[in-house]
Structure 1
Amino acid sequence: MDLPTAWNLDDKSTYLSVDSSGLRVNYEGPGMPGHTGAIRANNPIPPQCKMFYFEIDIIDEGKDKWIGIGFCEKWVNLNGRMPGWDDGSWGYHGDDGNFYCCSGSGSPYGPLFSTGDTIGCCLNFKNNTVFFTKNGINLGIAFRNLKGTLYPCVGIRSQGGSIEVNFGSRKFKYAGNAE
C-alpha cells in the first residue's frame, strides 16, 4: 500500500515549481484569473488505510492569499482552477475561509489562513467525512459522503505564494484524535 509521500513532479500545473525535496511548492504564474496552479500527490490515498491526514505549512501567502488545500480525483485538470471548483475536486480556501465541493460557489466553513499558518486535512474513510485543522485546532466536518480514488492536492494563484506539505515525515501540529 503506497501512501502519498511527496508532490508528483509530473502531475502539476506549469505555474508551479517544486523544490528538490518534493515537498515545497512555489507559484510562478502571473496571479491572474485562469492562471491557478495545482498539484497532486505522488500516490492516491488508499481507502483501506481508514484515515489519512496531512498538513500544509503556508510559507508565504503571496500577494492575494489565494491558496486552496484539499483533494481530488486523478482526472481533474490542474491548470487554471482551484481545488474544489471542478467535479471530482474539494478544497478549503485561505482567502475566504470557504469550502468548495465540486463547484465554483463555496460554503462558509472556517477562518481565513495566511503566512505562518498550518492547515491540516483529514480524510476519514471509516465514516466518510473530511475535516480540516488550523494550527492544530479541529475546525469540524467540512464534507460527508467521501468516495473515490483521491489524491491530496493544493492550488495557488497568488504571486509569491509558497507552501510546504507534511505527509507524516515530521510531527503534525494537530495531535488530536482523528475520529
Structure 2
Amino acid sequence: MDDINLHYRFLNWRRRIREIRDVRAVRYRDRWRNMFRDGDMLRYHGDSDEVGCFVSGRPLSKKRRYFEVTVNDTGVRGMIAVGLVPQSHKLDHQPGWLPNSVAFHADDGKLYNGSTVGQQFGAKCCRGDKIGCGISFDSDDGQITVFFTKNGEEIGSVEIPASPEDLYPAVGMHSLGEEVVLDLNADWRAEEDDGQMIVDSHEEDWSRLHDVKVTGTRLVAALQFRAEKGQKQWKLGFSVTTADCLGIAQRSWIQWFYRKTVVRREQMGEGARAPRTRG
C-alpha cells in the first residue's frame, strides 16, 4: 500500500512540474503580429494599413535593463517605434499609443507616452541608426525612469508610474520594407573616466570606489573628492608601493588614505597641517 501511495505521489509531482513549465512557457513567450521574424531580425509583414508590433516575453529587470534596435531599412515611411509596454499590450497599436506604454518613434523623433499625440524628443532616425531603451532604478517614489539612446548616446528620459516587472521591450512598424535587428541583451553603461578611482563623499561618508590601475609593482591611483557643501572640488594623485598596499590590510583604507592625504598636502604646502595618525 505504501508503495502504491508513493507511486501516485510521484505521478502527481511530475504532472505538477509539467503544469508549471507550461505556465512559464506561455508567460515568457514573445508575441508579434504583422511581422516576419527570423532570429533577431524583424521585418514588417502587412499592408501598411495595419500596425505591426513585437512584444518580448520577458520584462526588463536590474540584470537586463536595456535593449537596442538597429535599423536595417526604414521602408516606405520609417514608422519604427522602440519602447516599453505592459504584457497585455494590444498588438494592433504602436508602442506608446496606449496607456502604460512609452516609446520613441523614428519617423518623427517624437516621444509617445500613453497617447497618440507625441512630443518632440529627438532627431529622426535613418538606416543604420541604433535606437536603445532602458530603465533606471534611482527613483524611490514609485516612478521608473525610462531613457532612450541613439547610436550609443542618451537623447532623453521620462518618468512613468510603473514597476520594472510591468515593462516589456516592444518594437512597432507601420510601412512596407521596414526591417530591424533586435538585441534584447544589449549592454548600456554610462561613460566613466578610465584609470581613475573615484571616491564620493556625503558629509564625510565615503561611499564607493571605482577603477584602480596596477602598473608593475606600483599601484597608481587618482582620487577625486567632492564636497557636497560649497561645491568645492580638489583632486589628489599619488602612487604607493606594494609594501604600502600590505599596510592597507592592517588598517582601514580610510585611515590609510587620510595619512597619505596629510603627507601629500604638507609636501605641497596646502592648507593647515592635520595631526598624523599612527598605524
Q: TM-score, normalised by structure 1?
A: 0.81
- Aligned partner of 1:163: which letter? V
From the superposition, tell whether residues 10 and 45 of structure 1 become closer, same or farther in structure 2 (CA, over 3 Å): closer
From the superposition, tell whether residues 145 and 135 of structure 1 become closer, same or farther in structure 2 (CA, over 3 Å): same
Partner of 1:26: 43
Partner of 2:70: 57
- Aligned partner of 1:27: which letter? Y
How far 1:9 sits from its partner (Å)? 6.6
From the superposition, tell whether residues 177 and 72 of structure 1 become closer, same or farther in structure 2 (CA, over 3 Å): farther
Identity of aligned residues (%): 31
The whole-number CA distance in structure 2 between the counterparts of 1:159 and 1:104 is: 21
- Whether 2:159 is the aligned partner of 1:144: answer yes
How far 1:88 sits from its partner (Å)? 2.1
The gaps in structure 1 that reach 5 residues or longer are 1-7
More strand by share: 1
Query: Does the 8 A contact of 2:66 with 2:132 survive in 1?
Result: yes
- Whether 2:32 is the aligned partner of 1:16: answer no
The gaps in structure 2 that reach 5 residues or longer are 1-27, 193-279
SS of match in other structure, 2:70: strand
From the superposition, tell whether residues 50 and 125 of structure 1 become closer, same or farther in structure 2 (CA, over 3 Å): farther
Say which structure, 1 or 2, has more relative contact order (CA 8 Å, 6+ apart): 1
- Whether 2:125 is the aligned partner of 1:113: answer yes
SS of match in other structure, 2:65: strand
Query: Does the 8 A contact of 2:85 with 2:102 survive in 1?
Result: yes
From the superposition, tell whether residues 42 and 9 of structure 1 become closer, same or farther in structure 2 (CA, over 3 Å): closer
SS of match in other structure, 1:99: strand
The whole-number CA distance in structure 1 between the counterparts of 2:170 and 2:189 is: 22
Q: TM-score, normalised by structure 2?
A: 0.53
How far 1:126 sits from its partner (Å)? 2.7
Query: Does the 8 A contact of 2:60 with 2:66 survive in 1?
Result: no
Alignment of 1:32-47 (within 5 A): 32=49, 35-46=50-61
- Whether 2:82 is the aligned partner of 1:69: answer yes
Q: Give the aligned CA root-mean-square deviation in angstroms.
A: 2.0
Partner of 1:4: none
Partner of 1:164: 181
The whole-number CA distance in structure 1 between the counterparts of 2:30 and 2:56 is: 10
From the superposition, tell whether residues 27 and 9 of structure 1 become closer, same or farther in structure 2 (CA, over 3 Å): farther
More helix by share: 2
Query: Does the 8 A contact of 1:72 with 1:88 survive in 2?
Result: yes
